[in-house]
Structure 1
């Protein structure tokens, strides 16, 4: 961990390499008048909207929608099975399992052709009080159980004993984006009315805790977190159905789930504060988390060590080394494919545009994990077997 003093505020960084655009955003965060104690930056840091991905920001009595992000509740889930990967014929993997998953789970911008049962949606929320959520209750019945695009993925993986695992990375689909965009706009309008000292140029408008708008956002954010979990859970159920139809006697352990885009009220350094994790994962002592690599590299099941310096957080993945545009321009598709096929990975690269999610677009996951040895301990190392990208 490196400690820097920026604008007279401590910044604790778990990497030696921070791109210039991300460092400017870090500097902007240190100017916030409600920043609490220090800023924590994870080893997978890279530039985001307003706040860098891989940032952990604790605030006194304020929430910043852009410090949560628009894919509210985005996160990971994983399930271990009792089957060995070597016992699955390649033709079965490709023609039955992967094909079956694609048939049951819409990818990218695609939705279900029919509305899913309401039982798959979050329960226990007062929908009538959730402005944005209420207006999308019909639409999200077509979205729950769908992967989405970008860096979202479904992977079949194997651990060091060769046991088959399932891993999913996905979020709250269009619902989270609509909620995030709406309340970011509300916050910007309120900040202008309040003559806020937080410049609009920073793209960090906030909602003060004593306002009704804070409560509205908080309720809708939590619905989105729950919806993202329901989305991953339904996809996992569908994948398990495919595997059960194909692999006789397969059993599944309980699902591990953890989010990495959200805000929560937590107790740190003697105070109750609002902790924003944008592309960062809870690593409280004993908490089981997931840190994925890229489609050609390892992913990790980890256990939190509860390090107070990171506000009990860790990275959410490898982190981008190249922007999507730069990856498409710079990476050699044939080379990326050759590297995957040399490892026997059933991959998701079809054209040059897919370079934005190639292994070469991401940081080295082994370095990222090594840099956060004081934040988490590794429980299981997983290697990719077959990949589906959104």
Structure 2
């Protein structure tokens, strides 16, 4: 009997393996055939308690009894921000909310389809972490540095800024610096897991690089409408450097390794959760993943630190203020009086008074924001504008060179990028900001003027 025939007979997917094992033993040891086996399985399905000690179908009987007493908890509700979220994204969110330890969830206005938890999804779990709800590019983050260079230089001395981006940054799958950069993060304990230990040399070579996908480094004009005490800046216009990247290939290896472990440990009743497989924080694997994730957070911050140090040194500017925040991470936070694990996959921490940066696209502004600490969003906001078009669709529809010329006519010079990252592939950042006025307030506006991205048109490694 095959799987389809077993399902028609009434065997649930959770018990298929036990049924097949029983059939194989019955054929080999007692030489039973199709009709006899079908009759025997029907009897097991009708009265499983009579067969728990059966030499061939005892396991099937026990699993039928076990699953008959099993009921999944009802999915929790989730809050929604945004006007442009497709059905597939909502389907992913509903499945995430059906995790047995889920206690809170929200979806941000930049949300779009991802793996497991949608990008722009926020999920709070009790004492568990889901590697794919953190994401492949662990601790991907934004960093904005404000420089002591007059804004007139942006127009008057384009090649000064172009040279700084060309020489101070590296893009593309597997990109490295010719000479490994120095940073204290490489003196941290990389033995917290096998995967971090084995990838340390690779991570060092990639330190201070941006990779590919939607990662960028750009110069632009920051406009501050009034003095801000947190930034320590007066009202005015400033030259600013903005970057977006994460933990590179090592972060991806950490995610894949521990997601595979989590999937192998999934109870049979939850095998359909796939990439939403979780690790108990009290388990050895859960503790290892948490330590590796934390290290990747430090490493991603170091990547940006090196990029901003190199670029600002080459351009000849001093950093006088800055803002940074990461997404694709999990935090232990207190919500509704208890500690929970808050996953923000493509979502920005927006606790009360917390500064962050929310970018648009290469042709649209980014915003420095201050969180309002809205408990309904688990103190979160969007991490950007969010895609409205897949990479494949964008490459098929747009000619990159034509888009590049159009952007230059509008005052935005893109040194390198791919058609998959054209502005039209993204939602309108102004709409996204309008949809989350109860989550953040705008502190300053950053308008990109000189942009550098990867040309290879592939997602980050």
Alignment TM-score > 0.5, same fold: yes
Distance in 1 (CA, whole Å) between partners of 2:128 and 2:318 is 45
Tell whether the 8 Å contact from 1:28 to 1:202 is kept in structure 2 after alignment: no
Aligned to 1:9: 76
Tell whether the 8 Å contact from 1:198 to 1:204 is kept in structure 2 after alignment: no
Aligned to 2:222: 159
For the aligned residues, what is the CA RMSD? 1.8
Worse-superposed segment, 78-87 or 262-271 = 78-87
Q: Structure 2 residue aligned with 1:215, among 275, 281, 287?
A: 287
Aligned to 2:164: 100
Secondary structure of the residue that 2:200 maps to in structure 1?
A: coil
Secondary structure of the residue that 1:154 maps to in structure 2?
A: strand
Q: 1:230 to 1:85 in 2, by over 3 A?
A: same
Distance in 2 (CA, whole Å) between partners of 1:276 and 1:375 is 17
Alignment of 1:151-230 (within 5 A): 151-160=214-223, 161-191=236-266, 194-195=267-268, 197-200=269-272, 202-230=274-302
Number of residue pairs matched by the alignment: 369
Q: Structure 2 residue aligned with 1:272, among 330, 339, 344?
A: 339
Distance in 2 (CA, whole Å) between partners of 1:286 and 1:368 is 20
Deviation of 1:108 after TM superposition, in Å, equals 1.2
Distance in 1 (CA, whole Å) between partners of 2:438 and 2:179 is 47
Distance in 1 (CA, whole Å) between partners of 2:437 and 2:131 is 30
Aligned to 2:443: 379
Aligned to 2:374: 307
TM-score after normalising by structure 2: 0.77
Q: Deviations over 1:4-45 (max 9, x none)?
A: xxx652210101221122121012112111110x32000000
Structure whose CA Rg is larger: 2
Deviation of 1:272 after TM superposition, in Å, equals 0.4
Deviation of 1:114 after TM superposition, in Å, equals 2.3
Secondary structure of the residue that 1:51 maps to in structure 2?
A: coil
Worse-superposed segment, 200-209 or 374-383 = 200-209
Task: State whether structure 2 residue 92 is matched by structure 1 residue 25.
Answer: yes
Higher relative CO (Cα under 8 Å, sequence separation at least 6) belongs to: 1
Task: State whether structure 2 residue 297 is matched by structure 1 residue 233.
Answer: no
Deviation of 1:81 after TM superposition, in Å, equals 1.6
Aligned to 2:211: 148
Structure having the larger proportion of residues in helix: 2
Tell whether the 8 Å contact from 2:132 to 2:276 is kept in structure 1 after alignment: yes
Secondary structure of the residue that 2:286 maps to in structure 1?
A: helix
Aligned to 1:254: 321
